[in-house]
Amino acid sequence: MDVDDLRGIALFAGLTDEQLGELVDGSTEVRIEPGAVLFHEGDPADHWWVLVDGAIALHRQIGREDTVMGKIDVPGRWAGGFRAWDEHGVYLASGRGIAEGRVLRVPAGLLRERIDAWFPLAGHLIKGVYGTARAIESTARQRDALITLGTLAAGLAHEINNPAAAAARSVSALDTACTALLSALGRLAEGEITAAQFSALDALRRELGAGTAAPDPVDLADAENTISEWLDRHEVDNDWLIAPPLAAAGASIDWCERAAEVLDDALQPGLEWVASTLAAGTLLGEVKESTRRISELVAAVRSYSQMDRGSIQTIDVTEGIESTLVMLGHKLRDGIEVVRAYGADVPRIDAYAGELNQVWTNLIDNAVDAMGGTGTLRITTRTDGDRIVVGFTDTGPGMPPEVVARAFEPFYTTKDVGKGTGLGLDIAQRIVVEHHGGTITIESRPGATTLSVRLPLQPAG
């Protein structure tokens, strides 16, 4: 490599041929081969890599995933060299060739030496800016990550608390019902009822509840009062324990009269046994439903976080959206109506599922904030040629043109400090555009702001 190879690169504009020669003489030309790794994330950044031609992908290990963070594909773009100003500087990502070409590999020591000789003030400024920016970025990212984690954790805790509390209440009530059931059965077994009577009573019990729809609350209260009055007339105690399960199971006065004929003097323990078995069955159903809901929430968390899965996966975009809606359920419950319009012909695609879920989180969270917690969120999926389109439309006041124009700028936000997911639209755009070869656009007017994400059916090359 010689001076002529660098002369047309804008990065080196203003350097003399002599200065370029000094840089070239102390550096090395490295060929780029597709798939070959040039430098590794976490290694000492003791070389400055300047692209001359070709292309390099920047990969970073996030959890168990190897994630593409960006590309170096324009001559003059560079990576590394941080040890010129920071003795602890390391590569923030790994560089892997994606198109044949060349890079100029400059030792960090030479870079620092030449900068100090040619632009001493610039060298001091770079060192100060680098140290300050790294400290600010580290603090900001940690804070944003903690805010996001705290928000999602609080929402998930709220979602899980409801079925968990319901299960706990049902188990406590089930203990009481089982105690009453065993007590009644014990009294029946002491000789107050014959085997024929018990068989007849069990047949009456099986008549209840089969195919009975959930009663209207007013009708149910009336039925409980009617049965309680019947129990009082027949001198049966604990009507508060017996009447509700019988009424909920559809018992009528005619059923009670038939039970009285079968039980005779054992009416009290017999009805207590029937009521307790009915209550136990109902409570077991409540426990089953509550634990099923908890299991679904755990499954949604696994789907959302993509734990124990590889980086690129064949996914159903709808599943990712649904798991995200579960994670944000605490924000959607009061005042937000979610309308789903998922296309039946939308195919599965190869994508970074965890990253897309982060995009859905940001877009849904932004929509909820825009509506002030009250409105309609319409989510659509459809196929458009060789792409699928995912749309999020909110009924908020809309975005002014100047906000739409800047929405994808890094660090730009209209939210107060501490609000939002910590994932700006610029990062969402990078995930969609650079990692998936898609696009993300905004169309806004009062009452209808739509963010559309277009993803290729085939993964980006």
pLDDT-based confidence at residue 49 (cuts at 50, 70, 90): very high
User: Given a cut of 80, is residue 421 above it in pLDDT?
Assistant: no
Helix (H) or strand (E) holding 443: strand 439-445
Q: Is residue 130 part of a domain?
A: no
Q: Are residues 325 and 292 in the same domain?
A: no
Q: What share of the chain is helix, strand, coil (3-state, %, to 5)?
A: 55, 20, 25
Q: Are residues 284 and 351 in the same domain?
A: no
Q: What is the DSSP letter of 337?
A: E
Q: What is the C-alpha R_g of the chain?
A: 34
Q: Which structural domain range is residue 404 located in?
A: 310-456
Boundary residue ending a domain (118, 141, 168): 118
| Span 342-362, average pLDDT | 87
Looking at 240-323, which runs of residues are DSSP E strands? 312-315
Q: Is residue 139 part of a domain?
A: no
Whose tokens are 């993300």? That residue is 440
* pLDDT tens, position by position, 51-97: 999 999 998 876 566 778 888 999 999 898 888 877 778 888 899 99
Output the pLDDT for position 333: 72
Output the pLDDT for position 416: 45
User: Given a cut of 80, is residue 204 above it in pLDDT?
Assistant: yes
DSSP letter string, 48-90: EEEEEEEEEEEEEEETTEEEEEEEE-STT-EEE-GGGT-TT-B
309 and 345 Cβ atoms separated by less than 8 Å: no
CATH assignment at residue 24: 2.60.120.10
Q: Are residues 443 and 329 in the same domain?
A: yes
Q: Are residues 230 and 330 in the same domain?
A: no
Boundary residue ending a domain (91, 118, 145): 118
User: Given a cut of 70, is residue 118 above it in pLDDT?
Assistant: yes
pLDDT-based confidence at residue 128 (cuts at 50, 70, 90): low
CATH assignment at residue 420: 3.30.565.10
* pLDDT tens, position by position, 6-43: 888 888 888 888 989 998 999 999 999 999 999 998 88
What are the tokens at 459?
């993964």
Q: Is residue 289 part of a domain?
A: yes
Q: Beta strand pairing status for 28-32 and 312-315? A: unpaired
SS3 17: helix
Q: Are residues 226 and 354 in the same domain?
A: no
Q: Are residues 91 and 183 in the same domain?
A: no
| Span 156-164, average pLDDT | 73
Q: Are residues 263 and 292 in the same domain?
A: yes
Q: Is residue 128 part of a domain?
A: no
Output the pLDDT for position 100: 94
Q: Are residues 396 and 433 in the same domain?
A: yes
Total domains in the fold of the chain: 3
User: Given a cut of 80, is residue 209 above it in pLDDT?
Assistant: no
Q: Are residues 249 and 166 in the same domain?
A: yes
SS3 326: helix
Say what the pTM is: 0.48
Boundary residue ending a domain (240, 265, 296): 296
pLDDT-based confidence at residue 176 (cuts at 50, 70, 90): confident
Q: Are residues 336 and 283 in the same domain?
A: no
Q: Is residue 411 part of a domain?
A: yes
pLDDT-based confidence at residue 342 (cuts at 50, 70, 90): very high
* pLDDT tens, position by position, 286-332: 888 888 777 777 766 665 655 444 467 888 999 889 888 887 877 78
Q: Is residue 147 part of a domain?
A: no
Q: Is residue 345 part of a domain?
A: yes
| Span 320-348, average pLDDT | 86
Q: Is residue 137 part of a domain?
A: no
97 and 39 Cβ atoms separated by less than 8 Å: no
Q: Are residues 8 and 105 in the same domain?
A: yes
Output the pLDDT for position 217: 81
Q: Are residues 65 and 188 in the same domain?
A: no
